[in-house]
Amino acid sequence: PHLAALVLARGGSKGIPLKNIKLLAGVPLIGWVLRAAIDAGVFHSIWVSTDHDEIEKVAKQFGAKVHRRSPEVSQDSSTSLEAITEFLNHHREVDIVGNIQATSPCLHPSDLIKVADLIQKEGFDSVFSVVRRHQFRWSEVKKGDNKMTEPQNLNPAKRYRRQDWPGELYENGSFYFAKRHLIEKGYLQGGKMAYYEMRAEHSVDIDIDIDWPIAEQRVLSFGYFGKEPLKEVKLLVCSIDGCLTNGRIYVTEDHKEMVSYDYRDIVGIDLLKKRGIQVRLISDRDCSKTLSAMQLRCVAKVNVTNKLQVLKDWQEDMGLSWKEVAYLGNEESDVECLKQAGMSGVPADACAAAQKAAAYICKSRGGCGAVREFAEHIFLLLEKVNSARKQ
């Protein structure tokens, strides 16, 4: 049977405008779950249902197909079931839908693989995600009622210790898998049902209980970054114009060129060096005098016609794997380098082709702290590498 992953990503949001493609730890929010769905390898097709052009563009960048939903199921009052039903009406080949929530960025492929087995091999009609919580519940007392609250799942005279109580299972909304015949009857859950218990650290729902900065820390600690394990970065190669500088060239009356840079970026380069990471610079044009004036004490290659070849030469000379190389670029000439490097980033104002090729998009613009920000991102991921080693 045809198993399709479906991510519902409406353009409207009462809280955060275009939340579904807002950058979370350098990746559009929807990108985290699409990456997990693609790498799971269990879906015959992967779809995003949306009513917005920008969300469609991001979905396609991550390898998903797009179903343009109708205005009738794109309202604030529209339900997930209505949007899924419309999708099935347009795609008769689909037998099972795995509805994955875009706001669950810590979802891992291993979870999706196990759920696919439950519904395809063990014969369940619907499977949904839950998380175990250790929370004591009390009955609600409305204001003005002269009533006492009552315990719902505990005896106050004999409160459980956490380690002595298994807790309770709650839906976390990460995903709902269901067969077509159930959805056509108006159900997302029904028939032979099963739950799938997710690890608490992977159960992150931005819609409900977490704000953006906290979510970024959770994703950096527990998110899924790809099939291959992260490795410690040994080399950062940074494009000069548009990354280290803002790309503008000022010309004086006596024909001398001047550029500006942000001192924060210089600090970022120094911090990388102190962590044992080599920093090398690259440019399409001859900016030797600029580099000399900046006194960065970095290996640099200027007037380059083939940046990828220079990057390969440096990687081979240092005896590094690509996973140990990071690249920060911003132009079309950087695209192949961004694709090749194990860790890639671009400033916020990079060209569209570079943004599409990069794994991390900075909040800062070129020449305005992007190098420092990318350095901080590298440090956070190195902490993840070190944590994995200890485990």
Q: Which of 137, 159, 248, 297 is catalytic?
A: 159
- Is 10 annotated in the active site? no
| Residue 282 contacts residue 240 (beta carbons within 8 Å) | yes
Residue 224 CA to residue 104 CA, distance in Å, equals 11
At 215 the three-state DSSP class reads helix
| Residue 367 contacts residue 361 (beta carbons within 8 Å) | no
Residue 230 maps to a domain? no
The count of structural domains within the chain is 2
Q: % helix / strand / coil in the chain, to the nearest 5? A: 40, 20, 40
Same domain as 285, residue 210 = no
Same domain as 214, residue 74 = yes
Residue 165 maps to a domain? yes
Beta bridge partners of 24: 27
Residue 262 CA to residue 347 CA, distance in Å, equals 13
Beta bridge partners of 126: 178, 193
Residue 144 maps to a domain? no
- What does the pLDDT read at residue 390? 58
Cα 223 to chain center, whole Å? 8
Containing 168, the helix (H) or strand (E) segment is strand 168-179
Residue 83 maps to a domain? yes
Residue 142 maps to a domain? no
Neighbouring C-beta atoms of residue 388, cutoff 10 Å: 10
Q: What is the pLDDT of residues 260-279, one digit of tens each?
A: 788 899 999 999 999 999 99
Same domain as 264, residue 127 = no
**Token reading at 79:** 């339900």
Last residue of a domain, one of 195, 222, 249: 222
pLDDT tens digits for the chain (391 residues)?
999 999 999 887 666 778 899 888 878 999 999 999 999 999 999 999 999 999 999 999 899 999 999 999 888 888 999 999 999 999 999 999 999 999 999 999 999 999 999 999 999 999 999 999 988 999 999 988 888 899 998 888 888 887 888 889 999 999 999 999 999 999 999 999 999 999 999 998 887 656 788 888 888 888 888 777 667 899 999 999 899 988 777 777 777 777 778 889 999 999 999 999 999 999 988 887 777 767 788 899 999 999 999 999 999 999 999 989 999 999 999 999 999 998 999 999 999 999 988 988 998 999 999 999 999 988 888 877 776 665 5
Domain span at 49:
3-134+160-222
State the Cα angle at 328 between 323 and 329, rounded to 5°.
125
CATH number at residue 364: 3.40.50.1000
Tell me the residue type at 270. D
- Indicate the DSSP class of residue 359: S
Same domain as 306, residue 217 = no
